[in-house]
Copies of this chain bind each other. A is one copy, B any other.
Amino acid sequence: MTITRADLAALDRDDPLAPLRDLFALPDGVIYLDGNSLGALPRATPARVAQVVREEWGSGLIRSWNDAGWMAAPARVGDKIAQLVGAAPGSVMVADSTSVNLFKLLGAALAARPDRRAILSERGNFPTDLYIAEGLAALLDRGHQLRLAEPDAIAAALDPDVAVLMLTHVNYHTGALHDMAALTRAAHAQGALVLWDLAHSAGAVPVDLAGCDADLAVGCGYKFLNGGPGAPAFLYVAPRLHEALRLPLTGWLGHAAPFAFEPGYRPAPGIARALVGTPPMLSLAALEVGVDIALQAPMAAVRAKSQQQTTLFAALLEQIAGTWGARLASPRDAARRGSQVCLAHDQAYPIMQALIARGVIGDFRAPDILRFGITPLYTRYVDLWDAAAALGEVMARGEWQEARFQVRLAVT
């Protein structure tokens, strides 16, 4: 099948999600395929943030904790995110960073399975998940082991010593999508809890935490939720576990009566106990704008477009990639793929730098991955053509061999 740019333009014309792109302020001359690292700016965000700064903070001052709804914001935005991940109201809280939330929930999970010593995860999981588990095990110093398995061997690695199965739903490096329902069942069959990292899922792929009977989850606000750089993260605790779980970070905003200033800690009812310190309101206000947009897009339509776009983009990339020895690093089956397409190539770093210099922004993931994120809310079909064509020119002209792209940056 030969795909033409006109075919892609036709798909854009028929795309029911196309009008949502106008809700984002994307810069001219850029094809942005890195929304899975930092989502784009919603047009409504600057005004909302300015309102929080000038009116709510500047004029309202301390009164805005009540009068402007700041105190209620983490739970309010949490309830909105709950709708995106199949969670009941009152089971999701916005708080802290993904890493800190992983620590809170892993700590609670290990305390809930005191006789078990294994944390099971995927070898290629995002490093912070593994680092946090490693740090927690070192702190506890009770012989907990981080057990790592390849993606297809996870179910087989479950046994009665596993306290918690901690997995990222969509792998950051390959885009491979785990079967949440099946793995949760398998973990429960062994008496383990399950902690899902939804960093690359929330807002991008269907998630049904309640339907899968998941125990715990964390997720990121600044990727597909378009909450802005370092937006606060979120966490989920199944309602059946609310009263039993002992979260280790017992800060004052998770207290049953934060302003009673009682000497001893009493957890707030339900998910409210997952709050720790004062939330960063400017960043939280921006997150809410992004979440509100995500709620406008039916998830079935988002997923359908994402699958079609990743499939088309993989096809276009392979046409090009075939000529220079890259291989598709993402699953070939769209049903097993999140909203990204990855190529592996030993010159991935300079190639991506050359592509970025042309205004096509994906990212490099060490050691050899060219990663392209698809955000159905704003990615056009023609963008895929133009990005693949740019990559073809970078390769045909050897642009990536220019000296300026050969310096490996410390931070990419």
CB within 8 Å of B: which residues of A?
A: 25, 27, 30, 32, 34, 37-38, 40-41, 45-46, 49-50, 52-54, 56-59, 61-66, 70-71, 96-100, 103, 107, 111, 123, 126-128, 130-132, 134-136, 138-140, 148, 173, 222, 228-233, 246-253, 255, 257-265, 276-284, 286, 356, 361, 363, 365-366, 409-412
Query: Given the known A-B contacts A100-B100, A280-B230, A283-B282, are A410 and B259 also in contact in the complex, defined by CB atoms under 8 Å?
Result: yes
Query: Given the known A-B contacts A229-B278, A249-B135, are A54 and B61 also in contact in the complex, defined by CB atoms under 8 Å?
Result: no
Specify which of A96, A247, A280 lies most central, judged by the most chain B CB atoms within 10 Å of its CB.
A280
The answer to whether A261 and B366 have CB atoms under 8 Å apart is yes
In the docked arrangement, what's the CA distance between A284 and B230, Å?
A: 9
Q: List chain B residues, Cβ under 8 A from A100.
A: 96, 100, 249, 251, 276-277
In the docked arrangement, what's the CA distance between A27 and B64, Å?
A: 13
The answer to whether B134 and A230 have CB atoms under 8 Å apart is no
Specify which of A57, A136, A282 lies most central, judged by the most chain B CB atoms within 10 Å of its CB.
A282
Query: Given the known A-B contacts A140-B140, A282-B49, are A41 and B58 also in contact in the complex, defined by CB atoms under 8 Å?
Result: yes
Q: List chain B residues, Cβ under 8 A from A356.
A: 63
Query: Given the known A-B contacts A96-B97, A134-B264, are A282 and B278 also in contact in the complex, defined by CB atoms under 8 Å?
Result: no
Among the listed B54, B140, B263, which residue makes an inter-chain contact with A41, where contact means beta carbons less than 8 Å apart?
A: B54
How far, in Å, is A220 (CB) from chain B's closest CB?
A: 8
In the docked arrangement, what's the CA distance between A57 and B261, Å?
A: 39
Besides A131-B255, A259-B410, 12 other A-B contacts (C-beta < 8 A): A34-B61, A37-B62, A38-B65, A41-B53, A49-B53, A50-B50, A100-B276, A127-B261, A128-B253, A130-B264, A134-B250, A280-B280
Among the listed B97, B138, B250, which residue makes an inter-chain contact with A277, where contact means beta carbons less than 8 Å apart?
A: B97
How far, in Å, is A362 (CB) from chain B's closest CB?
A: 9
Specify which of A27, A232, A263 lies most central, judged by the most chain B CB atoms within 10 Å of its CB.
A263
Q: List chain B residues, Cβ under 8 A from A25.
A: 54, 58
The answer to whether A97 and B66 have CB atoms under 8 Å apart is no
Among the listed B27, B32, B127, B278, which residue makes an inter-chain contact with A222, where contact means beta carbons less than 8 Å apart?
A: B278
The answer to whether A111 and B139 have CB atoms under 8 Å apart is yes
The answer to whether B41 and A45 have CB atoms under 8 Å apart is no
Closest to A34 in B: B62
Q: List chain B residues, Cβ under 8 A from A251.
A: 97, 99-100, 128, 131-132
Among the listed B232, B279, B411, which residue makes an inter-chain contact with A66, where contact means beta carbons less than 8 Å apart?
A: B411
> Can you offer 13 A-B residue contacts whose CB atoms are under 8 A?
A25-B54, A30-B61, A37-B62, A46-B50, A57-B228, A63-B361, A66-B412, A97-B277, A130-B265, A138-B248, A231-B280, A281-B283, A282-B286
Closest to A110 in B: B139
The answer to whether A132 and B249 have CB atoms under 8 Å apart is yes
Specify which of A148, A173, A261, A284 lies most central, judged by the most chain B CB atoms within 10 Å of its CB.
A261
Q: List chain B residues, Cβ under 8 A from A139.
A: 107, 111, 139-140, 246, 248
Query: Given the known A-B contacts A128-B251, A410-B259, are A361 and B61 also in contact in the complex, defined by CB atoms under 8 Å?
Result: yes
Query: Given the known A-B contacts A49-B49, A96-B100, A282-B282, are A246 and B138 also in contact in the complex, defined by CB atoms under 8 Å?
Result: yes
Q: List chain B residues, Cβ under 8 A from A148.
A: 263
